[in-house]
Chains A and B, each alone.
Chain A
Amino acid sequence: MTHQITLKNVDLDYFVYSLRSQSLRSAVFNLAVGGKMYKAAGDVAAVKALHDINLDIVEGDRIALVGHNGSGKTTLLKVIAGIYHPTRGDLKIDGDITSMIAINAGLDMEATGLRNIHKLGMMRRLSRKTIDSRVEAIAEFSGLGDFLHLPVRTYSAGMQARLMFAVATGFEADILVLDEWLSAGDAAFVQKAADRMHRMVEDAKIVVLATHDHDLVRRVCNRVCELQGGRIAFLGTTEEWLAYKESQAA
């Protein structure tokens, strides 16, 4: 089976509901005044988070999503992961997606690291047997040692990143969608993570990674998609992107 992600003319309008609009009173009030006054005051704001995104991600791609804060990286990740439905346009996904977007999503702070490996495996719909057979390798890769027997609430952000990444890549996945949290790991771990992602791609897998870390892009990714104000500003190979960045700086 081939793994592929295709986005065609994808738009995403993000509706922001202010505190006022989440209360029933204003909805009732809206009816009373004909639904104009409050809306005109911009109570429900539609933000065009993604605009006309065309993107083909194929087997073996390790694609980096880069861009300023608020440029739409995480939103695009969530569209690719199937969490947000595009407002317009088509999205086609072939393959089993593993998404790890927020660093602590799915982590149970009260449970130990080991227990969390089991829980995250469970969320991936794996059998107990499969999980048990992988736990040791995941524990070793995380490099957390005895800390795995402590509750996750005692972990630092970097330790959480180690645990999350070890789990994300320790179980089989066709498509891996990761947000910026990976950079929270220390240099040694980022190197280890980069090596592992290289190896994943050899098994015809896809990695989509949002990041600010140019060094990480250079080491891990073969393609780069730069977003600017919800539009694709640049799409090409990593070498092309580095040249583009240099020409911009000059």
Chain B
Amino acid sequence: MAALKDVGDGIRLAPLWWRLGLDQTASRFQRSILGPFWMACNLLVVAFALAFLVSALMGADIMKSYPQVVAGLLAWSLVGTAMAESQAIFLYNAGLMQNQRLPLSFYVFLHVQKAATNFLFQAIAFWVVMLIMGRFVAPHWTLIPAIVVMLLIVGLQGFVIAIPSTRFRDVAYMMSYLVQLLFYVTPVFWLATNVSAKHRWVVELNPFTHQVELLRAPLTGHAPALVDWCWTLGATGVLAIIAFTLLALFRKRVVFWL
């Protein structure tokens, strides 16, 4: 019950984390000329480098899968990058946590807000790249529910990762390597269709494959498969149970772990 109240209080503070999230994002790029557009550069650089490498080294026909790969990289910013960043949710705001009473969920919502902003900027970069490369496809309408579900996962995952990482600092360091590992075993910059049937199960049983696919499919103009929805909604349910258990057990303790 207390955990639900914490989340409810967090929702009521929406105007605050909305403004604070924008503010923290803006201040990350203080004194730079491009400002928040630096967030888009990550995707731009990788996309163009890939375009150059792939077409130069492997022949032009691989360029057919180019939009898939770049859309995969964009999806990863919400699936993977947000996961890697969630270890710092409480550590980053330690000063604020020790100075003002706010529910724990406030900091998680703040994290979701920042992840969404980052995704938006990268999405703009994605469409710019696609226009330049002459491969622009209008997104499928399912992109909107897919983003909503993924933001829900980012939030729940935030609790699941941030609470243990605040208590055990090794978890915090481990996360960045774990996400790097996941990046290679998940079909982001390679395609699941290229995997031999014998090893296909590795891809199919990876929940992150389905999360990436859920965003990638509408970005490249078609609806995601039912199996991707099932896996992702299933993951949401599991994460919700773990997140609320952790929140109920350790809500009052986290501030002492900082």
B92 at the A interface (CB under 8 A): no
Q: Is there contact, CB below 8 Å, between B98 and A23? A: no
Cβ contact within 8 Å between B168 and A24: yes
Cα(A123)–Cα(B17), bound, Å: 9
Q: Are B100 and A22 in contact (CB under 8 A)?
A: no
**Can you report 25 residue pairs joining A to B where beta carbons are below 8 Å apart?**
A15-B253, A15-B256, A17-B257, A23-B168, A23-B170, A24-B174, A78-B98, A83-B97, A83-B98, A83-B100, A83-B255, A84-B255, A102-B98, A105-B95, A105-B98, A106-B95, A108-B27, A110-B27, A110-B30, A111-B27, A111-B30, A122-B16, A122-B19, A123-B16, A125-B16
Q: Are B100 and A81 in contact (CB under 8 A)?
A: yes
| B124 contact set on A, CB distance < 8 A | none
- Chain B 1-16: CB-based contact to A (< 8 A → 1; otherwise 0): 0000000000001011
With A101-B98, A105-B96 already in contact, the answer to whether A125 and B15 are too (CB < 8 A) is yes
Is A106's CB under 8 angstroms from B100's CB? yes
Chain A residues with CB below 8 A from B98, complex form: 78, 83, 101-102, 105
CB 8 Å contact bits of A81-112 with B (1 = contact, 0 = none) = 11111000000000001011110111010110
Output the least CB separation between B122 and chain A (Å): 25
> Cβ of B171 and Cβ of A82 under 8 Å apart?
no
B194 an interface residue at 8 Å Cβ cutoff?
A: no
B: residues with CB less than 8 A from A are 13, 15-16, 19-20, 23, 27, 30-31, 95-101, 167-171, 174, 252-253, 255-257
Check if B100 sits within 8 Å of A123, measured CB to CB. yes
> Could you tell me if A119 and B23 are in contact, using CB atoms closer than 8 angstroms?
yes
Contact A22–B169 (Cβ < 8 Å): yes
**A24 partner, pick from B23, B31, B171, beta carbons under 8 A:** B171
- What is the predominant secondary structure among interface residues of chain B facing chain A? helix
The distance in angstroms between the C-alpha atoms of A162 and B19, with both chains bound, is 25
Point out the residues of chain B lying under 8 angstroms from A37, CB to CB: none
A23 touches B256 (CB 8 A): no
How many residues in A have their beta carbons less than 8 Å from beta carbons of B? Answer: 29
Across-interface contacts of A104 in B (CB, < 8 A): 95
In the complex, how many angstroms separate the beta carbon of B8 from the nearest chain A beta carbon? 16
The 4 closest A-B pairs by CB, nearest first: A82-B101, A105-B99, A24-B170, A85-B252
> What's the Cα separation between A244 and B13 when bound, in Å?
46
Q: How far is the CA of A22 from the CA of B168 in the complex (A)?
A: 5
Set of chain A residues within 8 Å of B170, measured between Cβ atoms: 23-25
Give the complex CA separation of A108 and B20 in angstroms. 12
Which residue in chain A gives the minimum CB-CB distance to B19? A122
Docked pose: A104 CA to B256 CA in angstroms: 20
Listed in ascending order, the chain A residues whose CB lies under 8 Å from chain B are 14-15, 17, 22-25, 27, 78, 81-85, 97, 99-102, 104-106, 108, 110-111, 119, 122-123, 125
CB–CB A99/B27 < 8 A? no
B257 touches A100 (CB 8 A): no
Task: Name the A residues within 8 Å of B171 (CB-CB).
Answer: 24
CB neighbours of B255 from chain A (8 A): 83-84
* Chain A, residue nearest B94 (CB): A105
User: Which residues on the A side are within 8 Å of B96 (C-beta)?
Assistant: 105-106, 123
- How far apart are the CA atoms of A123 and B100 in the complex, in Å? 9
Other than A24-B168, A125-B15, give 17 A-B pairs with Cβ distance below 8 A. Answer: A15-B256, A17-B256, A22-B257, A24-B170, A82-B101, A83-B101, A83-B255, A84-B255, A85-B252, A99-B100, A105-B100, A106-B99, A110-B30, A111-B30, A122-B19, A123-B16, A125-B16
* Assembled-state Cα–Cα distance A111/B30 (Å): 9
> Inside 8 A of A106's CB, which chain B residues have their CB?
95-96, 99-100
Docked Cα-Cα span, A125 to B20, in Å, equals 10
User: What's the nearest-Cβ distance from chain B to residue A31, in Å?
Assistant: 13
Closest to B24 in A: A108
A14 to B256, CA, bound (A): 7
* Complex: chain B residue closest to A98, CB-CB: B100
Contact B101 A81 (CB under 8 A): yes
